Amino acid sequence: MSRTEINFDGIVGPSHNYAGLSLGNIASASHAGDASYPRAAALQGVAKMRGNLARLGVQGYLLPLPRPNIALQAALALDGSEPAQLRAAPWSASSMWTANAATVSPAPDTADGRCHLTPANLVTMLHRAQEWPDTKRQLDIAFGDTRHFVIHDAVPPSFGDEGAANHMRLCDSHDAPGVEVFVYGRTGGRFPARQHEQASRLVARAHGLDPASTVFIEQNPAAIEAGAFHNDVVAVANGRVLFTHAEAFADQQGAYDTIRAAYPALEIVEVPSSAVTLQEAIRTYLFNAQLVTLPDSTMALIVPEECRESSAVWGWCEAMLEGNGPIRQVIPVDVRQSMANGGGPACLRLRMVCDPATVDPRFLLDEARADLIERTIAAHWPEQIDPSDVGTQSLATSVIAARLALLDALDLAQLG
């Protein structure tokens, strides 16, 4: 078996809009009420996937969920008198951010030697809490080989779980046993702490992780208050490297010590607040980046274009590259439509360590499928959605038809 890391990106759905539904997400709130461009957003996402396919040799994807969610519309008893944000919730395309699709523990880490996935319940936000049953339907198909995968139900809704966006893994190589790091928040601040400690601990137990190789760290409340609603807005790990802002954790040095006790080979690349403020890191999503291992065993950091446009962030990146650290390239990508709604390159992907041969091939990208997806998007995705369009029958007809066209094109009509 040849295990490798595969990034499964979410294809941006045809209902992509800016309704400002995510409390604590500064970008989402600041663009609420703007016109959105679903076609451009989806094509930006495919371009990002193409780039990673070329760099890494393997790339996956997950499909948009059914929107509008007719069951949620009925449950909300919508009659036109409700707030616009409530009316917009069943239309949300937030499943594009597959870092929140599930928490993944690769086979080398688990007691039964299978890869375990737990869909995130996302209960803190209404527009996201609707996702997990449909997400699980996809995971059950994509990773349906029960010899290699276990798909759990979501954590009970008493505990908020936001998936891999609050989970990191450190390892000597992707196919070697690793140390899994779960980052949680404390309630009581300006914005809700979306990842509950007990949700993280429940997932770790369900996945059969070794307690000696499992670490639980508290996120810095100040980071949550500044807009780091998930840990992956202020920290990301890959291989032996933890790339983090100096204000990511409630007890920064204590977090380092705890992780290093479980994983002595830890290499820390810390960005000091004096170089990049917490606010600038969140605005540019420097840490909501893909930290990947290239075929030559060096690491690259795939960041949003907004990082290159910030003198502080780009200056720090250039200084880092002049040194002899583990990150040898910084590669900007254009995901502006996603960024405006609060999700950078890391939000758009779910990391899996597995043998590609064990995955349903309909969820793996190649150049022909990328061409097919692009043609379908160009032909069917709305070019623009204005706030007044959300909730209309004409948009519903267009969005439903667009998604079904993509499912048909990819031979996944069973998800219709």
For 299-324, give the DSSP string: EEEEEEHHHHT-HHHHHHHHHHHHTT
Q: Report the CATH number that the domain containing residue 245 is assigned in CATH.
A: 3.75.10.20
pLDDT digits 0-9 by tens, 236-285: 999 999 999 999 999 999 999 999 999 999 999 999 999 999 999 999 99
- Report in angstroms the alpha-carbon separations of 404 from 61, 66, 93: 16, 9, 15
pLDDT on residue 1: 58
Decide: helix, strand or coil at residue 130. Answer: coil
Tell me which residue range forms the domain holding 42: 4-415
Token pair for 50: 């193409």
Q: Which two tokens stand for residue 26?
A: 């500064």
pTM over cut 0.85: yes
Rounded to 5°, angle at Cα 154 from 60 and 162 = 70
Q: Residue 316: what are its φ and ψ, rounded to 5°? A: -65, -40
pLDDT score at 25: 79
The residue count for the chain: 416
Do 194 and 232 touch, CB atoms closer than 8 A?
no
Active site residues: 162, 230, 347
Residues of the chain with pLDDT under 50: none
231: CB partners within 8 A, 6+ apart = 165, 166, 167, 168, 183, 195, 219, 248
Supply the pLDDT for residue 179.
Answer: 98
> What is the count of structural domains for the chain?
1
SS3 179: strand
- pLDDT value of residue 24: 77
What pLDDT is stored for residue 362 in this prediction?
98
Looking at residue 21, its pLDDT comes to 85
Quote the distance between the C-alpha of residue 390 and its chain's center: 24
Rounded CA separation 30/39 (Å): 21
CB-CB contact of 409 with 373 (8 Å) = yes
| Cβ pair 180, 215 in contact under 8 A | yes
Q: CA-CA distances (angstroms) from residue 400 to 13, 41, 87, 393? A: 10, 17, 17, 10
| Upstream peptide bond of 177 is cis (omega within 30 degrees of 0) | no
